[in-house]
Structure 1
Amino acid sequence: MLKATLRLLATTDLHAHAFGWDYHADRPKAGVGLSGLAHLIDAARRECPNTLLVDNGDFLQGSALGDWAAEVGEDIVHPMISAMNALGYDAATLGNHEFSHGLGLLRRAISDADFPVVSANLESTTDTPLVAASVLIEKVISDGKGRSRPITIGITGIAPPQTTVWEATQIDGQVTASAAVPAARQAVEALRRAGADLVVLLAHTGMQADQGLMRVEAVPENVAEPLARTSGADAIILGHSHLVYPATDTGTERRDGGASKGLEKPAVMPGFFGSHLGRIDLSLRHDGQRWQLGDTRAEVLLPDAGPGPHARVQQACGQAHAAARRWYGERIGKATDHLHSYFSRIFPCDIVRLVAAAQAGHVRRALGGTAWAELPLLSAAAPFRAGGRGGASHFTDIPPGDLNLRHVADIYPFPNTVVALIVTGADIVDWLERAVIQFATLTPGGREVPLVQEDCPSFDFDLIDKLSFRIDLTRPPRFDLNGERLQESRRIKELSYLGQPIRRQDRFVLATNSFRSAGSGGFAGCRPDRVILDDRKLSRAVLADFLAEAQRPFAEDTFRWAYEPVGSSVTFDSAEESVRHLADLAALRPEVTQGGAAGFRRFRLWV
């Protein structure tokens, strides 16, 4: 009987981080980048020659390198594809952000890949196929003692069906998405019938509790547990939620999404940006008739701090990396104030004002001379880089002085476009109610309650400028993360526009972005029949133009909101550097207190 180990090595959510580099600050960044993982990949292959290297999606977009590749277009092989080719990837699946720069770039990029890209639940609606549902890989397994046998490994993958909502503008109806669990199950069964001895599922999905998931027609976003129970795959690679599974003890930033009891199949979720390498060792034996799976071991590995850039990755895309840095260094304007996002989730923030003002200016010009120009114009914006799962370095901090393109991308990191909607006063109220679900429900006289709930992303704290209102945190949230009504409760009080109370029947033009207008997050009024402007102008380009022209980037009367006094103390964590800006929080009487993860500082505030 032949006995051997098959090793699966996995990356996920690389987001175009080929190197350990912070493009927003233009400096090295430890603990991220495919280049750092490449040394681990080499060592793991030397230790176990029977190895497959796979990626679990979201590899094309998310850094200056990916943005630069999108700007250059057809003339180059995408630098992430070059790096993955150089490292000898065996397969990959599509994540939702593969579509963020458009179908044209995606098709060009994967056409240059030396490895198959698969997806069982994303399909083209055109005559041009997107990718195969699955692939069979033939490999020879050796026991290290001169005996070997061929093995057929099936690989398939899934992505969140919400992809067609989040990336609706880029997909433009040319891709459909089906529910992940049945699609995976069918693909695995088809691979078995086609002769697969072993099946690996590349599942671009996470494992959070059901109540925190976005749903499309009652289909949840993160489905690791049902996939493990019912897909029939022998091993699963997870991702999408930027967490780590199995959990490590290297800091609260690296968590397992609540899967404390573990999954029913060997699985890994190796972080994001190249923070970890997933490794699953599968013990195999062949009895002369068929392969049988024995013991398994799944773990995540951290890259070593010592080695410099990996030679093959450097050769593959080092020039593109240098070009992206030069591109991000282009000057576009000047900042007269210090712009930061340290408290953007709990207090009016100049960066959010800036984005709102830029959007409003673009919409005002675009609608000039139309019937819509007679309506009041509002603009909705949210903080993007505001800590959370991105860690203590995931904040914007721009001192006064020259503004470069990298600063614009720091403020607005996503390739969204500006969209204008026609909305009512009733929509405005529910929009704000949806935004403020991030806050905990407080009891008068309560002490040390975390003010912001961890499972609410910062980009859903989407407030609207030129409005005045108060937030009553003694009331429970009206909506859940999907925009589904939980109860009749109202947190928004004394809502007015330019000093006048807003009535349900009032009509407004609302500037927002393509991600939101497509329905992401379930905000009120985000429907195709409400869109009155969609000229595909990138939000980041609108912001860059605004900064190039503006002497002072925002009006002083925007985002006038405050908390209804409760008489409770709350806690909030921000980066260590935020201590320098505590004067911004004077109204909340901030005090430095104990606690906070590595790189964070905890504050006690009074609401």
Structure 2
Amino acid sequence: MNADAVSVSLRVLETSDLHMFVYDYDYYNARQDNSVGLAKVATLIAQARREVPNSVLFDNGDIIQGNPLGDYMALPGHLNGRDGHPMFRAMNRLGYDGATLGNHEFNYGLDFLHNAMKTASFPFVCANVTLPGGGTLLPPTMVIERKVTDTEGRPHTLRIGLIGLVTPQIMVWDRAHLQGKVQAGDIVGTARTLVPALRKSCDLLIALCHSGIAGGAPVAGAENAALQLATVPGIDVILTGHAHRVFPGPDYAGIDGADVVRGRLGGVPAVMPGFWGSHLGVVDLSLRRDGAGRWSVEDAQVEARPIYRREGRQAIPLVVDDRAILDAARPEHEATLRWMDQPVGRTTVPINTFLSVIGNDAALSLINQAQLWYAAPLVAGTPYAHLPLLSAASPFKAGGSGPDSFVDIPAGPMDMKDIANLYMFANTVCVVKLNGAELRDWLERSVNLFAQVDPTQDAPQPLLAPQPATYLFDTIAGLRYEVDLTQPARFDRDGKLCAATAHRITALSHDGRPVQPEDEFLVVTNNYRAAGGGGFAGTGGDHVVLNAPDLARDVLIRFVTQAHSVSPTPEPIWHFKPFPKPVSLVFNGNAETANHLDGRGDIRRLGDGEGGFVRYALTVA
């Protein structure tokens, strides 16, 4: 062994996709939520730091948007220079060493982002968001120096290189805020350009990559490129996120190059710590400096530490809150609670999303009614006024984030938190123009939510494809159609055509007439979808005919307030095409789902499922 060699243990800690969850609180249902919150992660951070002599802490983006506290701060006059932003005040108390931007950082516009970031006492890096005239929105890379002690207790200075990368789809999802102001480049291509120089000036190189994990070869402009980023020589650690999943762990089993046990992407140590503060990412590095002064990673241990565990439907906390973190955001948290309690109107019927994946429901009907009410007078008098006006809506909360992730508004008074629960994203209203062929493919993209069904099987089969994204499951009011689940999905998870001869959408009609490929329509939707979010046919800038200034959530508030009382009833927009014989299809709900079956004989409860869900079976005949 070289007498000049030095060994150092360094713990790299990561948070990602906090989405404004400082508190362990469910603003939509006004109750404690033990599965979320920076206040609980802070306790994990303190524990993790005490266990080792050397550690650094980073955040991987999606910080300032995602719950009503974030929306409250984005209201005019609520972010001021005196108090700053509560999330960054809380993060400052934890002593972050650096961060990058997530795609949701741009939801409120660049001015708000810059003003919010003024509160942060730690640096940000972001390499692939550039300015039209040259330069970058933020420093693309940086080197920070940290004092560390080796295994003999001797001090050393370690130069840690950081590169920040965000999914380039920000230019689609927040086009209204970003067009003409910034550009977003490819994650892997940007890293290949910048990493070599950064590598020469640092001892350890960490990529803060706000992007998920997907298999396959690198594709320019890919949304989920963390695995492909590992092919760039010189990167020692990848901190990833965006997908709201956990790595290492079974979420990414079966992807070539993703070691879901050891936490490696293409051999590079990597971690993804869930979402909303559910986990803390931990990467323990064994570093060695040779006699020539060169540092290398000899080994790494990777884990995602949870703040809670599940016992049936209960989320049992594994740590207590850090009171200092709660105190940092307390004034704005309490103001948000008052804001959420403001009355809006009444509903004469329950509004929920327990059954959104098996047919249209009152929740989507209310959204569609409000969107059509708002858009119709804006379209009147335009060159497009003669075209049929349709409305697209998807269930944002239909179990995708756990058994409590459903809308459940009882009949009676409605307040702000009910509307926020129903429409949780800060999207504006848009109208797109498209033809019948595009409209059909829009729906085909939507129904890739479902698994393919074998009608000859007697055993129950899953209704949904793995890792379903219900916010991409659009139903379009004004149409009638069937969904043939014996067909494979025509489009894949990224919206790319994968089965050209497959057609799940059948019997598509408007006003009792079959939709023809050349027919023209207008569809009211949100800015995310209109700009191309999700890869739907008939969307993108050339299809947009109206960019309205109002948030869809505000439209809902105005619609309910003006009506005083609403009675949304499910429209018969779509149904599953019958099978030759009855087939049982299994889907997830929770215990409350059973209270909203209204005596439906085609649905039965099967029993408890994984992760606190309750399994139900729908019989389609």
Bucket of the pairwise TM-score, normalised by the shorter protein: over 0.9
Moved more, 424-433 or 410-419: 424-433
Choose which of 524, 536, 539 in structure 1 pairs with 2:537.
524
Choose which of 190, 203, 210 in structure 1 pairs with 2:197.
190
1:146 Cα offset (Å): 4.6
- Does the C-alpha gap of structure 1 residues 127 and 66 become closer, same or farther in structure 2, counting only changes over 3 Å? farther
Choose which of 232, 235, 239 in structure 2 pairs with 1:237.
239
Show the counterpart of 1:251. none
Show the counterpart of 2:410. 399
How many pairs align? 594
1:501 Cα offset (Å): 2.4
Choose which of 102, 107, 113 in structure 2 pairs with 1:100.
107
Choose which of 570, 577, 590 in structure 1 pairs with 2:592.
577
1-structure distance, mates of 2:220, 2:160: 33
Q: Which amino acid in structure 2 is aligned with residue 419 of structure 1?
A: C
- Does the C-alpha gap of structure 1 residues 219 and 554 become closer, same or farther in structure 2, counting only changes over 3 Å? farther
1:427-506 alignment, distance < 5 Å: 427-446=438-457, 447-485=459-497, 486-506=499-519
Contact 2:444/2:490 (<8 A) preserved:
yes
Contact 1:185/1:232 (<8 A) preserved:
no
- Does the C-alpha gap of structure 1 residues 44 and 477 become closer, same or farther in structure 2, counting only changes over 3 Å? closer
1-structure distance, mates of 2:425, 2:137: 23
2-structure distance, mates of 1:476, 1:428: 19
Q: Which amino acid in structure 1 is aligned with residue 368 of structure 2?
A: A
1:287-302 alignment, distance < 5 Å: 287-290=290-293, 291-302=295-306
Show the counterpart of 2:20. 16
Contact 1:347/1:585 (<8 A) preserved:
no
Show the counterpart of 1:564. 577
Choose which of 65, 70, 73 in structure 2 pairs with 1:69.
73
1-structure distance, mates of 2:185, 2:152: 46
Moved more, 222-231 or 574-583: 222-231
Show the counterpart of 1:546. 559
Show the counterpart of 2:42. 38
Question: What are the Cα deviations for residues 216-275 of structure 1, in whole angstroms up to 9, with x where unaligned?
Answer: x85322122222232421111111111111128xxxxx7768545543111111111110
Q: Which amino acid in structure 2 is aligned with residue 31 of structure 1?
A: S
Show the counterpart of 1:206. 212
Q: Which amino acid in structure 2 is aligned with residue 166 of structure 1?
A: W
Show the counterpart of 2:11. 7
2-structure distance, mates of 1:529, 1:554: 36
Moved more, 257-266 or 432-441: 257-266
1:47 Cα offset (Å): 2.5
1:465 Cα offset (Å): 0.3
Question: What are the Cα deviations for residues 91-149 of structure 1, in whole angstroms up to 9, with x where unaligned?
Answer: 00111111111111111122221111111212233688521101110111113755211
Question: What are the Cα deviations for residues 350-406 of structure 1, in whole angstroms up to 9, with x where unaligned?
Answer: 111111111111111222333433322111111100112x11111111111211111
Question: What are the Cα deviations for residues 179-210 of structure 1, in whole angstroms up to 9, with x where unaligned?
Answer: 111212333212122x2011111111222345
Show the counterpart of 1:162. 169
Show the counterpart of 2:397. 385
2-structure distance, mates of 1:270, 1:367: 44
TM-score computed with the length of structure 2 as normaliser: 0.91
Q: Which amino acid in structure 2 is aligned with residue 95 of structure 1?
A: G
Contact 2:7/2:151 (<8 A) preserved:
no
Q: Which amino acid in structure 2 is aligned with residue 570 of structure 1?
A: L
- Does the C-alpha gap of structure 1 residues 203 and 181 become closer, same or farther in structure 2, counting only changes over 3 Å? same
Show the counterpart of 2:521. 508
Q: Secondary structure at the match of 2:17?
A: coil
Question: What are the Cα deviations for residues 317-370 of structure 1, in whole angstroms up to 9, with x where unaligned?
Answer: 111111111111111111211111011112111111111111111111222333
1-structure distance, mates of 2:370, 2:510: 19
Show the counterpart of 2:313. none
2-structure distance, mates of 1:188, 1:501: 55
Q: Secondary structure at the match of 2:550?
A: coil
Q: Secondary structure at the match of 1:520?
A: coil
1:281 Cα offset (Å): 1.4
Choose which of 262, 269, 273 in structure 2 pairs with 1:266.
269
Q: Secondary structure at the match of 1:118?
A: coil
Contact 2:307/2:319 (<8 A) preserved:
no
Choose which of 380, 383, 388 in structure 2 pairs with 1:376.
388
Q: Cα RMSD (Å) of the superposition?
A: 2.3
Contact 1:416/1:514 (<8 A) preserved:
yes
2-structure distance, mates of 1:491, 1:145: 65
1:295 Cα offset (Å): 2.2
Contact 1:242/1:272 (<8 A) preserved:
yes
Contact 1:14/1:59 (<8 A) preserved:
yes
1:429 Cα offset (Å): 1.8
Contact 2:461/2:585 (<8 A) preserved:
yes
1:551 Cα offset (Å): 5.3
- Does the C-alpha gap of structure 1 residues 182 and 255 become closer, same or farther in structure 2, counting only changes over 3 Å? closer
- Does the C-alpha gap of structure 1 residues 15 and 423 become closer, same or farther in structure 2, counting only changes over 3 Å? same
Contact 1:184/1:231 (<8 A) preserved:
no
Alignment of 1:90 with 2:77, yes or no, is: no
- Does the C-alpha gap of structure 1 residues 479 and 522 become closer, same or farther in structure 2, counting only changes over 3 Å? same
Show the counterpart of 2:248. 246
Q: Which amino acid in structure 1 is aligned with residue 268 of structure 2?
A: K
Contact 2:28/2:420 (<8 A) preserved:
yes
Choose which of 405, 420, 424 in structure 1 pairs with 2:435.
424
- Does the C-alpha gap of structure 1 residues 405 and 172 become closer, same or farther in structure 2, counting only changes over 3 Å? farther
Question: What are the Cα deviations for residues 2-50 of structure 1, in whole angstroms up to 9, with x where unaligned?
Answer: 4321111110111111111101011110021111011111122222242
Q: Which amino acid in structure 2 is aligned with residue 386 of structure 1?
A: A
Moved more, 255-264 or 31-40: 255-264
2-structure distance, mates of 1:133, 1:519: 27
1-structure distance, mates of 2:451, 2:27: 34
Show the counterpart of 1:174. 181
Question: What are the Cα deviations for residues 50-86 of structure 1, in whole angstroms up to 9, with x where unaligned?
Answer: 2111001111110111111111454141211111111
Show the counterpart of 2:312. none
Choose which of 344, 348, 355 in structure 2 pairs with 1:336.
348
2-structure distance, mates of 1:171, 1:597: 41
- Does the C-alpha gap of structure 1 residues 44 and 479 become closer, same or farther in structure 2, counting only changes over 3 Å? closer
Q: Secondary structure at the match of 1:266?
A: strand
Choose which of 301, 320, 323 in structure 1 pairs with 2:335.
323
TM-score computed with the length of structure 1 as normaliser: 0.93
Alignment of 1:351 with 2:363, yes or no, is: yes
Q: Secondary structure at the match of 2:556?
A: helix
Show the counterpart of 1:79. 86
Moved more, 173-182 or 472-481: 472-481
Contact 2:88/2:119 (<8 A) preserved:
yes
Contact 1:126/1:174 (<8 A) preserved:
no
Moved more, 104-113 or 13-22: 104-113
Choose which of 418, 423, 442 in structure 2 pairs with 1:412.
423
Q: Which amino acid in structure 2 is aligned with residue 78 of structure 1?
A: H
Contact 1:35/1:310 (<8 A) preserved:
yes
Show the counterpart of 2:156. 149
Q: Aligned residues: percent identity?
A: 39
Moved more, 440-449 or 316-325: 440-449
Q: Secondary structure at the match of 2:588?
A: strand
Alignment of 1:605 with 2:618, yes or no, is: yes
